[in-house]
Structure 1
Amino acid sequence: MSLRIAIVPERLGSVLSPCGSIRLAAFFDAMRKEGAEDWEFRYLIPEEVAAFRPDVIVWQRIAMDERQVTAIADLAKRSGALTIYDLDDNLFDLDDAAERLAYADKLKAVEKSLQVADQAWCSTVELADRVSGIARHRPQVMANALDPGLWGEAPASAEPDAGVHCLMYMGTRTHAADLGLLSQAMDLLEDRQPGRFKLDIVGVASEYPERPWMRVLQIPGHVGASYPAFVHWIRQQGARQLGVAPLLASSFNDCKSCIKVMDYAALGMPTLASDVAAYRPMQADVECFKADNDAVQWATAIERACGDAALASRVLAGAAARIGATPFVEAVRLRADAILLGRAR
């Protein structure tokens, strides 16, 4: 089947947003490389879509405003094009006050997109459940998968450096509350074993407390908002003993995916994550370590994960099974099959 597929990704300035790279470009670029069924792909801005005369139109998050979504829906109705909307965050229940303000005038476009799209793709079951009452049809779960062509082979795992256990925490700068929990745990570890645990932070918050155990890794200016550039840079930083993913329970966080476990595995690190809904798909002590959201529990879990090298190696191997070519190819296939099924109806 010959298809013309228009892709309207979310952009930040001149580059795709990280979500644009992770949720759309990775999979559609893979389809193009495979020569999928004589399909033609174009990355477009909304105003270019009509001229392309697409058979399929895919957009995501806040790539279009409400007026543009309405225009795309009208175009699809006239031409018979299949419309697909991808959403990977619960934008209706944002925790961060600044983010809520930034997205306030964009939620109508998100709601409209869900209402008009023939297919809605969501990153988790919880997110699909959250928006199912808004979407035109029951959303399909299209889980995240890392592009092995971008991430490459995972580096060797790290060992203690002169008896010091090194951890890494990376994320967007909206995790101040999560960092607060982790900071309490790290303070406890500093009291128990002074100087034995260090935490390298990448992003996570806009401000950081002064702590002897904390080291902030500054992301170079040339990386900007480019996800491929960030992956290239973070891989150059090398592995730590443990990647940490504290996450407080909330309506927003409960709809998140467990992609951070895969990120850390691709960097050669097992993960210690909060035992919350986002990490429910990961088996404790098999694919990641887990801890209740309590400072004492987190401190004890960090000591355990760093103190048992054999267990940490097994946990890393379990997480590594979720990355690489096999799961990525399957994720590409699921999306291609959804397109074919949608066009057949």
Structure 2
Amino acid sequence: MTQTVEPAHPAYAIPAALRGPDWRNPYAHIPPLDVFAWSADKNGCGFYRTQLPMQGLAALGYATHHATRLPQPVRHNRDVIVIGQRVCDPNPSIMWQQLASEGRHLIYEVDDDLFTVDHRSPAAHQYYGRPEVRDNIRRNIEVATAATVTTEPLADIVRQWNPNVHVIPNAVPDWLIDHQVPQPDDGTITIGWGGSATHGMDWDHTGQQIRRLLQREPSTVLHCIGNDYGALLKAPHRRFTPWQQSVEDYYRAIDYTIGVIPLLPHLFNVAKSAIKATEAAALGIPVVASAVRPYEDFVQDGTTGYLVRRDHEWASALRALIHEPDMRTEMGLAAREQARRYTLSAIAPLWEKALTA
């Protein structure tokens, strides 16, 4: 967790050599704001739930800013709406409660069920399993004006503490719809996945099915981005790309022919969003995904990809897409058309509604 409260900066803390016309105001670079998003991190979650929404609201005419620190001008300007992403550390929670006591317009943003993090994600499980952290989450949701979440199952959880919950799906940048994924001209079929090290339980459950398919299909290669589950599986044909400097760079590293999205039926996963399928759809990539709630709600089985309900279906679904290029193309086009409903310009009005409802 990197979310912090920014301390007051005395004027004498600014070196004389750096003092410009407004040197007495160390926040002169921050324009007057309508909305400030207090990000919990600078990773994918921060991008999808604070950075990208602020871009969408800016396109609608709002003055926006986002950072992992709460700047003093935002702290003292009662007109600024503050969106707090997963505020739960001690000092940020104290500040959140103080802002609430002043009658500030606060929106609590959360995109995961933080009360059911699996032990196979040890760092997150250890942190969010702490009673004081869970208590802070509950209290901070309770005092917020509203809350925003990614899915309806997650909304049902958050409504225990605040009835004013807005379900806002993750969006992708509009330009992604027109981005062309590079494909090799040697007949290689790239089966791809991207994500963090928190998906161990998903690959433990499904990985061997994918590994056997790779063994039987010599034209295939498994490309993992972010965390190298291919190496853990000892997949026979594999490539690995580490996390990129930005989410945009991550998009450009995607060269999948087919996307795979294993997801274990687990309470934590039921409340997750379908962002991996949304990314693939925007890029025109058909997917084979576990038939778990996020993907049941997004993937149109047999039209934009396949949903897997039994272990043996991984091989049959992947084999069909490997050997039928026309079907791959048709499914990719249908997926891309579906993804237009999840672009930033399409989803931004939902963020605006959350600000005003």
Interval containing the TM-score (normalised by the shorter chain): 0.7 to 0.9
Q: Which stretch shifts more, 51-60 or 322-331?
A: 322-331
Superposed counterparts of 1:195-210, under 5 Å: 195-204=218-227, 208-210=232-234
Whether the aligned pair in 2 keeps the contact of 1:265 and 1:316 (CA below 8 Å) is yes
| Percent of aligned pairs with the same amino acid | 23
Aligned to 2:178, the other structure's residue is in SS state: coil
2:107 matched to 1:84? yes
C-alpha distance after superposition, 1:278-337 (max 9, x if no partner): 11212212232211251x211111101222223222222222124358742231111112
Cα distance between partner residues in 1 of 2:49 and 2:318: 31
Aligned to 2:339, the other structure's residue is in SS state: coil
When residues 54 and 44 of structure 1 are mapped into structure 2, their CA distance, relative to the original with a 3 A threshold, is farther
Aligned to 2:211, the other structure's residue is in SS state: helix
2:295 matched to 1:279? yes
Partner in structure 2 of residue 172 of structure 1: 196
Partner in structure 1 of residue 143 of structure 2: 116
Whether the aligned pair in 1 keeps the contact of 2:50 and 2:66 (CA below 8 Å) is no
Partner in structure 1 of residue 134 of structure 2: 107
Whether the aligned pair in 1 keeps the contact of 2:56 and 2:348 (CA below 8 Å) is yes
2:334 matched to 1:318? yes
Aligned to 2:179, the other structure's residue is in SS state: coil
2:325 matched to 1:299? no
Cα distance between partner residues in 1 of 2:81 and 2:38: 11
Partner in structure 2 of residue 7 of structure 1: 37
Partner in structure 2 of residue 247 of structure 1: 263
C-alpha distance after superposition, 1:38-95 (max 9, x if no partner): x454646236342333342210114x524533432332332x3221011101111011
Looking at both structures, which has the greater relative contact order when contacts are Cα pairs under 8 Å and sequence separation is at least 6? 1
Using the TM superposition, give the Cα deviation of residue 163 of structure 1 relative to its aligned residue in structure 2, in angstroms.
4.3
Alignment match of 1:231 (pick from 224, 242, 248) = 248
Cα distance between partner residues in 2 of 1:18 and 1:186: 25
Aligned to 1:239, the other structure's residue is in SS state: coil
2:68 matched to 1:52? no
Rg (Cα) greater in structure: 2
Partner in structure 2 of residue 226 of structure 1: none
Give the number of equivalent residue pairs.
Answer: 319
Partner in structure 2 of residue 74 of structure 1: 98
When residues 169 and 312 of structure 1 are mapped into structure 2, their CA distance, relative to the original with a 3 A threshold, is same
Using the TM superposition, give the Cα deviation of residue 256 of structure 1 relative to its aligned residue in structure 2, in angstroms.
0.8
Cα distance between partner residues in 2 of 1:210 and 1:88: 32
Residue type at the aligned position of 1:30: G
Whether the aligned pair in 2 keeps the contact of 1:6 and 1:54 (CA below 8 Å) is no
Gaps of 5+ in 1: 224-228
Aligned to 1:166, the other structure's residue is in SS state: strand
Whether the aligned pair in 1 keeps the contact of 2:172 and 2:342 (CA below 8 Å) is no
When residues 158 and 292 of structure 1 are mapped into structure 2, their CA distance, relative to the original with a 3 A threshold, is farther
Cα distance between partner residues in 1 of 2:139 and 2:57: 28
Cα distance between partner residues in 2 of 1:332 and 1:25: 12
Cα distance between partner residues in 2 of 1:33 and 1:162: 42
Using the TM superposition, give the Cα deviation of residue 259 of structure 1 relative to its aligned residue in structure 2, in angstroms.
0.9
Q: TM-score with structure 2 length normalisation?
A: 0.79
Partner in structure 2 of residue 147 of structure 1: 173
When residues 331 and 158 of structure 1 are mapped into structure 2, their CA distance, relative to the original with a 3 A threshold, is same
Partner in structure 2 of residue 189 of structure 1: 213
Whether the aligned pair in 1 keeps the contact of 2:181 and 2:256 (CA below 8 Å) is no
Aligned to 2:84, the other structure's residue is in SS state: strand
Partner in structure 2 of residue 258 of structure 1: 274
Residue type at the aligned position of 2:225: V
Cα distance between partner residues in 2 of 1:128 and 1:83: 17
Using the TM superposition, give the Cα deviation of residue 241 of structure 1 relative to its aligned residue in structure 2, in angstroms.
1.4
Using the TM superposition, give the Cα deviation of residue 35 of structure 1 relative to its aligned residue in structure 2, in angstroms.
2.2
Alignment match of 2:285 (pick from 260, 269, 273) = 269
C-alpha distance after superposition, 1:161-189 (max 9, x if no partner): 54442211111112223223443223332
Cα distance between partner residues in 2 of 1:210 and 1:42: 41
C-alpha distance after superposition, 1:132-153 (max 9, x if no partner): 22x222422111111225x462
